[in-house]
Amino acid sequence: MTKSKLLRMDNVGIVVESLDDAISFFTELGLTLEGRAMVEGEWAGRVTGLGNQRVEIAMMITPDGHSRLELSRFLTPSVVADHRNAPVNALGYLRAMFAVSDIDETLTRLGKHGAQLVGEVVQYEDSYRLCYIRGPEGLLVGLAEALGSNR
């Protein structure tokens, strides 16, 4: 019997209150809306363990076509926990990190969508400039700009 192997990471899921605001933010960052749909019924609840559910989703794809974000807005059942403003040292899934060509220009554009710098933009040696921002609904996003030979 052949051992099963990992092929790729398909997507990262983020639950939001406003799908439109999240789509707008991630579009400004540079992702493209691949599709938007309603996922509902008992079959979907069997996957998530939530029973009969109704969720509106939007799939966003990165410019290279290799990574996706699945944005979800739960209509039923209602949301039961809120981790949007958890500090960066909270347990569990924390953030998505995106490589950008110009961190300062990206911050300016995302600021128009309410993004706020968490700490400051820092430079790691001659390799990267990095920062964390809070986007819509307090979502934590990392930005990394490669420098020098890392470009």
The C-alpha atoms of residue 135 and residue 130 are separated, in whole angstroms, by: 16
Residue 151 has a pLDDT of 72
Q: Which CATH architecture has domain 9-79?
A: Roll (3.10)
Residue 81 has a pLDDT of 83
Q: What string of pLDDT tens digits covers the 151 residues of the chain?
A: 888 887 788 899 999 999 999 999 999 999 999 999 999 888 887 778 888 888 999 999 999 999 999 999 999 888 888 887 788 788 777 788 999 999 999 999 999 999 999 999 999 999 999 999 999 888 889 999 999 877 7
* This prediction's pTM: 0.88
Dmax over CA atoms of the chain, in Å, equals 54
Residue 42 has a pLDDT of 81
Phi, psi torsion values for 9, nearest 5 degrees: -90, 125
Find out whether 133 and 113 touch, Cβ atoms under 8 Å.
no
Query: Which one-letter DSSP state was computed for residue 90?
Result: -
Find out whether 131 and 120 touch, Cβ atoms under 8 Å.
yes
Question: Domain 93-151 classified CATH 3.10.180.10?
Answer: yes
Residue 59 has a pLDDT of 97
Question: How is the chain split into domains, by residue range?
Answer: 9-79, 93-151
Q: Which of 97, 141, 89 is nearest to 115 (CA)?
A: 141
The C-alpha atoms of residue 49 and residue 93 are separated, in whole angstroms, by: 19
The C-alpha atoms of residue 130 and residue 125 are separated, in whole angstroms, by: 11
What is the Cα 81 distance to its own chain's centre? 18
Q: Do 93-151 and 9-79 have the same topology in CATH?
A: yes
Joined together, the tokens standing for residue 137 give 């609904």
The C-alpha atoms of residue 20 and residue 22 are separated, in whole angstroms, by: 6
Residue 149 has a pLDDT of 79
Residue 23 has a pLDDT of 97
